[in-house]
């Protein structure tokens, strides 16, 4: 591993100041399960690593306030999975977060880290988008004297956050500090599914989330099927209906999957990916339908 | 020592240590290289195999992708910290009795992962054991006897007067 | 057995240190004044190196030296266990992805790594030969310079060597049904959890090299030749490997490291990354074309087998792999007519080496799949067709070789029964069964020393490598059985050529048989000496003394070994040293250099469930029924069978090197080279031991440990075929491959 400086700010202003001073040469560190690996492999060569784990203003808990659940950036995936709040309202996110790596990885990796790493195959991203997640970014104000040096916040829908593989709208001098999830209006049904090369810990060949909201709109978010997650919606309400004839269902699914752009790579060929998007899509739709019906009856 | 080292204070196997580490040094390198705790092993170096598993602040982690500097102020438990005075604990003994040790290279990481599993789930099902150890690769055993060992350890801990059987 | 030691599943000797974390592997060895090395290699398979600029690298703080071909004498030293073809550093061209062009030595691993990244290599990438068709093409570029190929008909080709075996008359025999297919087996790697690590320490008059090598005396011989030192001045210390599976049998980077260490005058340590380890050891890929002839009752008429193995850029032990495996390729069956043609093909891929099964998994994959194809065509049950063709114990099945040395039908029956053969299966599930055959060791030379100490404890010295198979345990059991020494009183010393006597190698599942027999003789030597000591001491004629384990029986009474030793040696003290050896000599006339000491035979059965829509396969049951002769430690045998079966599951379902067109390996490392995890293994994994005490080893034992991997692929392949109705002839059977076979079937021939 190349040399870099290790810095551990004690507050947010200090952290942001460091990021700005290094002008893109500093990388934020939380769980390190992506960052440290990429540095060791020579894919990244930062001048400094800024450890955010002692920055108190960055949330380390999951809280509900009004009709929003907020996950602080310091929350590790294993804590997310155990959270009653998340299990109750966002089962597809629990399903996704539970299979990111191994328990050793999930004990360190954070939800925000998984998002910011911006891998097209990230498992938590499809369900988060399906649940209408948004992010809070912070950065130091520049420009006019009144805002220079102050911590400015901006919120952005997760759907708009990704620009390409490992590229997001987060500037090198900014940090994502929280993920916000609106409480879904019931009845709401969601599911997460993916395909891997082995049953054990693996990266996804394809993954996806399917959500059907209270008005019957079906949203699919496909991962590992394009440079960023692909969102495809059926606004007609047809896919929400369990009694929809199979051929019509497949036709609609096909039109949604057609928005993806899967490639061939070392993990899978393109044709197989396309076929699996449909196959797994059908299964996830069924699961989302069933869960929505259960919620409608007051179940979990 | 270059002028870029950091002094950290870390409690390893219940012993407080003051260590000078390089910024890019991993916890694994610190344990093996500076503290001579060579029980924790290096294999893939990218958090994919679990051979380097230690317990840090109560959580099982891959020490090869934790920077040593991140361990400042932390408590770390390694394989050497499990046994009291060279006597294997019931989990270690179960590994021996069940035939779960062949070449032994994955064993320290496997035992730490199993230790963590049992701490949080004293009576795991077979499914839960497989899930909990799914981050630890073994090439020798086929895992069957490792799972049996963890089951045996869980059962022996449940017995009223549990003792180390040799 | 009187003591009940043999046949007991005693705990693994050496297990305690492993669970405590105190076991010393080669990577745990630290020497004072040690330097750290790092290799420089190119990200391509075949390249012409124009220049190497080390100036920036040498400026890195802590760097002591950089060595490249320019610093080596000409001709560049070459080595290899059979062909001395591998240069210690690539000279003007690199021949495989990962071949080192330079090596850096520095005060720290980190400095070496930084410096290695700053060595500037100017090179031109060249086309690579990495497929069988390319290697066979007579107009293709030659992988190896003919100047180093010696003499021989293949000197100007990419064929390292070619073998023809067989009997009968395949051309002119008549068969009711003929089936012909081609099967492929991918490049896979051993993936021992311990990466390769080496340490070379110059000494006052020679060198000590630490390596987790399975064959310490082989490494000693090769280093002595490369370094021009006498054997007595080359010491190999071989800590127990953290997994080897054959990949650590033969030298890889020790010659380079030793050479560099001697130049530097300081100990030099090299630890490869996992990705680099994948570039040093792997199994030969193979394409096996089989034409099989059957009578309509399912009896075999002929097998016509052509095997092409892609062995890599240097020979390593590939010639032996290909010849030994193909020699018995027709399988454990009665086949009146056999024609075998096998080739070892050079390619721009990492040199293949020994890997559990030693070429047999590749042959068995093809030949057993053929039996399934015949059963389907002839509407016979797949167990029946095998049963029909299996020889009985003592029956000759290969005209110039030992007869069948076990009840192989019993393996088949027990495996079939355990998997529930014939019982109804739900939709989407299937069962498969296959036999596996491997020839045991042909030549052998194992020497051992046992010392019986004054207090009745014993120390055993053996050059065998305990890489997880439990050699220390089995040997301790034998000593305990023969001499009546308690297990806790036995010490086993291995892995140091200056201490333990010569052993030819740890390979071919031989050690229990060959070293075991040597140990029995050494114990016999001790017992003989105990009789003499008792005769001297108690004034009794030797022929009236009977020696039993731990006890000497005289007409007037019994004395324990300890009593005899104390009475005889008195205050001047002493010990009894027993020496034993076991040798199988080279037989020039035999195509393999000698008949195999035993056959390793197994029946493997599998039950799987396949999701037709995704191609995902779950193994529900995997049964290994091995003809083991005698399980000296039943748990150890099961441990080996289970591990081998899961390793076989790996190459059956998920393992393969993915190469690009230029021969670069795209999936190095744990992330994209997938091996089975706890969630991938069968719900039911069973090892059945067929014990008829009919082996040549101690107490009737035969070799085990490779059986479980010999026929896993055809058993799983057969099960998948029953589940989905389609036979796939290429491994691994990934979900994508299964899905493609179902949805995009190949055009008919």
pLDDT in tens, C389-409: 999 999 999 999 999 999 999
pLDDT value for C2: 39
Between CA C217 and CA C81 the distance in angstroms is: 11
Q: Which of C627, C638, C649 is nearest to C713 (CA)?
A: C649
Q: Would you place residue A300 in the very low, low, confident or very high pLDDT band (cuts 50, 70, 90)?
A: low
Q: Which of A31, A8, A220 is nearest to A130 (CA)?
A: A220
Do residues C223 and C245 make contact, with C-beta atoms less than 8 angstroms apart? Answer: no
Between CA C47 and CA A68 the distance in angstroms is: 59
pLDDT value for A276: 96
**Least CB–CB distance from A32: residue in B22, B70, B113:** B70
pLDDT value for A2: 67
Interface contact A276-C614, CB threshold 8 A: yes
User: At residue C542, does pLDDT exceed 60?
Assistant: yes
Does domain C15-22+444-584 fall into CATH 3.30.365.10? yes
The alpha-carbon gap from B141 to the nearest alpha carbon of chain C, in Å, equals 4
Interface contact A40-B22, CB threshold 8 A: no
pLDDT value for C747: 65
For B90-161, the fitting CATH number among 3.30.230.10, 3.40.50.1860, 3.10.50.40, 1.10.150.120 is 1.10.150.120
- pLDDT, tens digit, 9 for 90 and up, residues C13-36: 999 999 999 999 999 999 999 999
**Least CB–CB distance from B49: residue in C645, C670, C679:** C670
A-chain CB neighbours of C108 within 8 Å are none
**Least CB–CB distance from B46: residue in C467, C469, C671:** C671
Q: Would you place residue A1 in the very low, low, confident or very high pLDDT band (cuts 50, 70, 90)?
A: low
The alpha-carbon gap from C158 to the nearest alpha carbon of chain A, in Å, equals 28
The alpha-carbon gap from B137 to the nearest alpha carbon of chain C, in Å, equals 6
The whole model's pTM is what? Answer: 0.96
Three-state secondary structure string covering C73-104: CCCCCEECCCCCCEECCCCCEECCCCCEEEEE
Across the A:C interface, residue pairs with CB atoms under 8 Å apart total 57
The alpha-carbon gap from C201 to the nearest alpha carbon of chain B, in Å, equals 19
Interface contact B66-A5, CB threshold 8 A: no
**Least CB–CB distance from A202: residue in C117, C653, C674:** C674
- Name the token pair of C18: 């492993």
Phi-psi region of C453 (alpha: psi -120 to 50; beta: other; left: phi over 0): beta
Do residues C601 and C690 make contact, with C-beta atoms less than 8 angstroms apart? Answer: no
Cα dihedral A98→A103→A104→A108 (10° resolution): 40
Q: Measured between CB atoms, does B45 come within 8 Å of chain A?
A: yes
Between CA C621 and CA C423 the distance in angstroms is: 14
The H or E element spanning position C716 is helix C712-724
The alpha-carbon gap from A7 to the nearest alpha carbon of chain B, in Å, equals 9
Largest alpha-carbon pair distance within chain C? 88
pLDDT value for B80: 97
C-chain CB neighbours of A224 within 8 Å are none
Catalytic residues of C: 706
User: At residue C7, does pLDDT exceed 60?
Assistant: yes
Q: Measured between CB atoms, does C745 come within 8 Å of chain A?
A: no
Does domain B6-81 fall into CATH 3.10.20.30? yes
User: At residue C310, does pLDDT exceed 60?
Assistant: yes
The residues in B 102-131 lying below 8 A from C, measured between CB atoms, are 102-108, 111, 129-131
Between CA B132 and CA C8 the distance in angstroms is: 32
Q: Which of A145, A267, A139 is nearest to A194 (CA)?
A: A267
Between CA B45 and CA A38 the distance in angstroms is: 11
Do residues C692 and C406 make contact, with C-beta atoms less than 8 angstroms apart? Answer: yes
DSSP B30: I
Question: What residues does each domain of chain B span?
Answer: 6-81, 90-161
DSSP C698: G
The residues in B 12-51 lying below 8 A from C, measured between CB atoms, are 22, 24-25, 32, 36-46, 48-49, 51
For chain C, the average pLDDT equals 96
Q: Measured between CB atoms, does C108 come within 8 Å of chain A?
A: no
A-chain CB neighbours of C111 within 8 Å are none
Which residues sit opposite C326 in a β-bridge?
none
The alpha-carbon gap from A42 to the nearest alpha carbon of chain C, in Å, equals 10
Q: Which of A123, A102, A76 is nearest to A222 (CA)?
A: A123
Between CA C426 and CA C418 the distance in angstroms is: 18
* Cis amide prior to A207 (ω within 30 degrees): no
Cα-only R_g, chain A: 20
C-chain CB neighbours of B105 within 8 Å are 25, 192-194, 242-243
Q: Measured between CB atoms, does B80 come within 8 Å of chain C?
A: yes
Between CA C608 and CA C621 the distance in angstroms is: 7
Interface contact C675-B46, CB threshold 8 A: no
Do residues A58 and A74 make contact, with C-beta atoms less than 8 angstroms apart? Answer: yes
**Least CB–CB distance from B65: residue in A5, A33, A201:** A33
Q: Measured between CB atoms, does A2 come within 8 Å of chain C?
A: yes
**Least CB–CB distance from C680: residue in A199, A203, A276:** A199
Phi, psi angle pair for C601, to nearest 5°: -125, 140
pLDDT value for B2: 47
Cα dihedral C668→C673→C677→C681 (10° resolution): -150
Nearest Cα residue in chain C from B49: C670
A-chain CB neighbours of B48 within 8 Å are 201
Do residues A182 and A155 make contact, with C-beta atoms less than 8 angstroms apart? Answer: no
What's the complex ipTM?
0.96
Nearest Cα residue in chain C from A268: C736
Interface contact B134-A103, CB threshold 8 A: yes
Cβ neighbour number for residue C683 with a 10 Å cutoff: 13
Interface contact C12-B107, CB threshold 8 A: no
pLDDT value for A299: 60
pLDDT value for A141: 77
A-chain CB neighbours of B26 within 8 Å are 1, 36
Site of tokens 């344990």: B31
Q: Which of A195, A212, A217, A215 is nearest to A262 (CA)?
A: A195
B-chain CB neighbours of A40 within 8 Å are 45-46, 65
* Cis amide prior to C457 (ω within 30 degrees): no
Q: Measured between CB atoms, does C204 come within 8 Å of chain A?
A: no
The H or E element spanning position A274 is helix A270-296
Helices C634-653 + B144-158 axis angle, to 10: 130
Between CA C14 and CA A227 the distance in angstroms is: 51
Between CA B151 and CA C559 the distance in angstroms is: 46
Phi, psi angle pair for C694, to nearest 5°: -110, 25
Nearest Cα residue in chain C from A101: C671
The percent of residues in chain A predicted with pLDDT above 90, rounded, is 90
Between CA A168 and CA C271 the distance in angstroms is: 37
Burial C134-148 (b: 16+ CB within 10 A, else e): bbbeeeeeebbeeee
Q: Collect the ranges in chain B with pLDDT lower than 70.
A: 1-3, 159-166
The CATH superfamily label for domain C31-126+194-242+247-278 reads Aldehyde oxidase/xanthine dehydrogenase, a/b hammerhead (3.90.1170.50)
- Name the token pair of B102: 């062949």
User: Chains touching chain A at 3 or more Cβ pairs under 8 angstroms?
Assistant: B, C
User: At residue A147, does pLDDT exceed 70?
Assistant: no
Do residues C615 and C738 make contact, with C-beta atoms less than 8 angstroms apart? Answer: yes
CATH 3.90.1170.50 domain residues, chain C: 31-126+194-242+247-278
Q: Measured between CB atoms, does B108 come within 8 Å of chain A?
A: no
Specify the CATH class of C285-441+590-742 in words: alpha beta
Cβ neighbour number for residue B122 with a 10 Å cutoff: 11
Q: Measured between CB atoms, does B67 come within 8 Å of chain C?
A: no
- Name the token pair of C180: 């012909």
Between CA C516 and CA C565 the distance in angstroms is: 25
B-chain CB neighbours of C9 within 8 Å are 99
- Name the token pair of C220: 């000693």
Between CA A48 and CA A7 the distance in angstroms is: 7
Site of tokens 């591993």: A1
C131: helix, strand or coil: coil
- pLDDT, tens digit, 9 for 90 and up, residues A9-56: 999 999 999 999 999 999 999 999 999 999 999 899 999 999 999 999
Q: What would the mean pLDDT of A67-73 be, rounded to a whole number? A: 98
Between CA C608 and CA C618 the distance in angstroms is: 6
- pLDDT, tens digit, 9 for 90 and up, residues C589-622: 999 999 999 999 999 999 999 999 999 999 999 9
DSSP C321: H
* DSSP codes, C219-285: HHHHHHHHHT--GGGEEEE-PPPS--TTTTSS-SSHHHHHHHHHHHTS-EEEE--HHHHHTT--PPE
A-chain CB neighbours of C610 within 8 Å are none
Burial C615-636 (b: 16+ CB within 10 A, else e): bbbbbbbbbbbbbbbbbbbbbb
B-chain CB neighbours of A41 within 8 Å are 46
User: At residue C487, does pLDDT exceed 60?
Assistant: yes
Interface contact C614-A267, CB threshold 8 A: no
Between CA A297 and CA A295 the distance in angstroms is: 5
- pLDDT, tens digit, 9 for 90 and up, residues C157-200: 999 999 999 999 999 999 999 999 999 999 999 999 999 999 99
Q: Measured between CB atoms, does B124 come within 8 Å of chain A?
A: no
Between CA A293 and CA C331 the distance in angstroms is: 58
- pLDDT, tens digit, 9 for 90 and up, residues C315-338: 999 999 999 999 999 999 999 999
Interface contact C110-A279, CB threshold 8 A: no
Q: Which of C161, C582, C602, C593 is nearest to C401 (CA)?
A: C593
pLDDT value for C710: 98
Interface contact C739-A275, CB threshold 8 A: yes
Interface contact A33-B136, CB threshold 8 A: no
CATH 3.30.365.10 domain residues, chain C: 15-22+444-584, 285-441+590-742
């Amino acid at each position: 591993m190349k040399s870099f400086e290790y810095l551990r700010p004690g507050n947010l202003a200090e952290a942001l100041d460091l990021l700005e001073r290094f002008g893109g040469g500093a990388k934020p560190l939380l769980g390190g399960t992506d960052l440290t690996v990429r540095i060791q492999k020579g894919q990244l060569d930062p001048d400094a690593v800024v450890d955010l784990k002692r920055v108190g203003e960055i949330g380390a808990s999951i809280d509900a306030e009004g009709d929003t659940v907020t996950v602080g950036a310091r929350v590790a995936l294993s804590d997310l999975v155990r959270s009653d709040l998340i299990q109750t309202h966002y089962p597809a996110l629990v399903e996704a977060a539970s299979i990111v790596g191994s328990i050793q990885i999930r004990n360190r990796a954070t939800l925000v880290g998984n998002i910011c790493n911006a891998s097209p195959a990230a498992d938590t991203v499809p369900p988060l988008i399906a649940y209408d997640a948004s992010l809070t970014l912070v950065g130091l104000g520049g420009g006019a004297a009144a805002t220079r040096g102050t911590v400015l916040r901006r919120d952005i829908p997760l759907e708009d956050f990704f620009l390409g593989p490992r590229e997001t709208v987060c500037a090198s001098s900014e940090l994502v500090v929280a993920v916000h999830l609106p409480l879904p209006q019931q009845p709401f049904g969601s599911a997460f599914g993916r395909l891997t090369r082995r049953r054990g810990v693996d990266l996804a060949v394809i993954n996806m989330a399917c959500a059907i909201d209270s008005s019957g709109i079906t949203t699919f978010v496909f991962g590992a099927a394009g440079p960023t997650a692909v969102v495809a919606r059926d606004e007609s309400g047809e896919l929400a209906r369990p009694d929809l004839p199979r051929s019509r269902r497949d036709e609609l699914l096909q039109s949604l999957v057609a928005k993806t752009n899967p490639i061939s790579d070392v993990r899978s060929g393109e044709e197989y990916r396309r076929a699996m998007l449909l196959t797994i899509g059908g299964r996830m739709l069924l699961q989302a339908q069933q869960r929505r019906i259960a919620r409608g009856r007051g179940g979990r | 020592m270059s002028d870029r080292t950091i002094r950290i204070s870390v409690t390893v196997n219940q012993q407080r240590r003051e260590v000078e580490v390089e910024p890019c040094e991993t916890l694994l390198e610190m344990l093996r290289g500076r503290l001579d705790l060579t029980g924790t092993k290096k294999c893939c170096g990218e958090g994919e195999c679990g051979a380097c598993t230690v317990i840090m602040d109560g959580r099982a982690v891959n020490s090869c992708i934790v920077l040593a500097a991140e361990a400042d102020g932390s408590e770390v438990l390694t394989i050497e910290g499990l046994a009291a005075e060279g006597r294997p604990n019931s989990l270690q003994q179960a590994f021996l009795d069940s035939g779960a040790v062949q070449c032994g290279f994955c064993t320290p990481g496997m035992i730490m992962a199993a230790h963590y599993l049992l701490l949080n789930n004293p009576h795991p099902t077979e499914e839960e054991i497989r899930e909990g150890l799914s981050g630890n690769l073994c090439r020798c055993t086929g895992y069957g006897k490792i799972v049996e060992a963890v089951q045996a350890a869980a059962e022996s801990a449940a017995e009223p007067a549990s003792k180390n059987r040799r | 057995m009187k003591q009940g030691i043999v046949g007991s599943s005693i705990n693994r000797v050496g297990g305690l240190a492993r669970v405590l974390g105190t076991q010393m592997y080669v990577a745990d060895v630290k020497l004072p004044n040690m330097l750290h090395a790092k290799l420089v290699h190119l990200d391509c398979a075949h390249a012409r190196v124009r220049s190497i600029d080390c100036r920036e690298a040498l400026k890195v703080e802590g760097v002591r030296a950089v060595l490249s071909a320019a610093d080596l004498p000409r001709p560049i030293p070459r080595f290899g266990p059979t062909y001395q073809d591998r240069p210690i550093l690539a000279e003007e061209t690199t021949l495989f992805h990962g071949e080192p062009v330079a090596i850096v030595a520095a005060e720290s691993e980190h400095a070496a790594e930084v410096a290695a990244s700053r060595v500037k290599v100017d090179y031109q990438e060249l086309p690579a030969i990495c497929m069988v068709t390319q290697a066979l093409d007579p107009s293709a570029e030659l992988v190896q310079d003919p100047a180093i190929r010696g003499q021989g008909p293949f000197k100007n080709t990419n064929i390292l060597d070619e073998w023809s075996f067989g009997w009968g008359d395949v051309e002119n025999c008549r068969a009711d049904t003929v089936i012909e297919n081609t099967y492929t087996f991918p490049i896979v790697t051993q993936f021992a959890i311990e990466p390769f690590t080496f340490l070379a320490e110059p000494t006052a008059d020679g060198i000590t090299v630490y390596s987790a090598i399975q064959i310490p005396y082989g490494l000693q011989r090769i280093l002595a030749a490369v370094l021009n030192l006498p054997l007595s001045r080359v010491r190999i210390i071989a800590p127990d490997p953290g997994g080897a599976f054959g990949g650590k049998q033969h030298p890889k980077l020790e010659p380079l490291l030793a050479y560099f260490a001697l130049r530097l005058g300081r100990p030099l340590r090299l630890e490869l990354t996992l990705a680099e380890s994948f570039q040093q050891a792997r199994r030969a890929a193979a394409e096996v074309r089989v034409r099989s002839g059957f009578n309509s009752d399912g009896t075999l008429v002929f097998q016509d087998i052509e095997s092409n193995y892609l062995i890599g850029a240097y020979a390593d032990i590939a010639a032996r792999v290909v010849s030994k495996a193909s020699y018995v390729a027709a399988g454990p069956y009665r086949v009146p007519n056999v024609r075998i043609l096998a080739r070892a093909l050079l390619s721009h891929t990492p040199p293949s080496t020994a890997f559990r099964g030693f070429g047999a998994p590749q042959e068995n994959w093809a030949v057993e799949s053929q039996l399934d194809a015949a059963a389907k065509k002839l509407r016979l049950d797949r167990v029946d067709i095998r049963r029909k063709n299996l020889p009985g114990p003592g029956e000759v099945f290969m005209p110039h070789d030992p007869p069948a040395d076990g009840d192989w039908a019993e393996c088949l029956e027990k495996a079939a029964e355990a998997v529930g053969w014939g019982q109804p299966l739900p939709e989407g599930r299937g069962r498969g069964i296959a036999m596996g055959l491997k020839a045991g060791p042909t030549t052998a030379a194992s020497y051992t020393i046992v010392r019986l100490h004054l207090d009745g404890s014993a120390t055993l010295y053996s050059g065998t490598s305990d890489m997880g198979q439990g050699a220390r345990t089995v040997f301790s059991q034998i000593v305990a059985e023969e001499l009546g020494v308690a297990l806790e009183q036995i010490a086993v010393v291995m892995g140091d050529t200056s201490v333990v006597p010569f052993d030819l190698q740890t390979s071919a599942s031989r050690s229990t048989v060959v070293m075991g027999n040597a140990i029995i003789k050494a114990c016999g030597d001790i017992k003989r000496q105990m009789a003499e000591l008792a005769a001297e001491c108690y004034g009794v004629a030797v022929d009236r003394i009977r020696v039993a384990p731990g006890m000497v029986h005289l007409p007037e009474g019994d004395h324990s070994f300890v009593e005899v030793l104390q009475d005889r040696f008195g205050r001047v003290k002493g010990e009894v040293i027993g020496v034993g050896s076991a040798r199988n000599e080279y037989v020039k006339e035999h195509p393999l250099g000698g008949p195999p000491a035993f056959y390793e035979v197994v029946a493997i059965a599998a039950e799987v469930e396949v999701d037709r829509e995704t191609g995902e396969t779950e193994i529900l049951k995997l049964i290994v029924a091995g003809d083991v002769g005698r399980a000296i430690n039943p748990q150890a045998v099961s441990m080996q069978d289970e591990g081998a079966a899961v390793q076989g599951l790996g190459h059956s379902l998920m393992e393969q090197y993915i190469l690009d067109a230029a021969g670069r390996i795209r999936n190095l490392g744990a992330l994209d080279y997938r091996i089975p995890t706890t969630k991938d293994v069968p719900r039911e994994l069973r090892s059945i031991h067929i014990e008829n005490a009919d082996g040549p080893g101690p107490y009737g034992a035969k070799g085990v440990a490779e059986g479980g991997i010999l026929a896993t692929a055809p058993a799983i392949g057969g099960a998948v075929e029953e589940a989905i109705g389609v036979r796939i002839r290429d491994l691994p059977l990934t979900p994508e491959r299964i899905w493609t076979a179902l949805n995009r079937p190949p055009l008919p021939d």
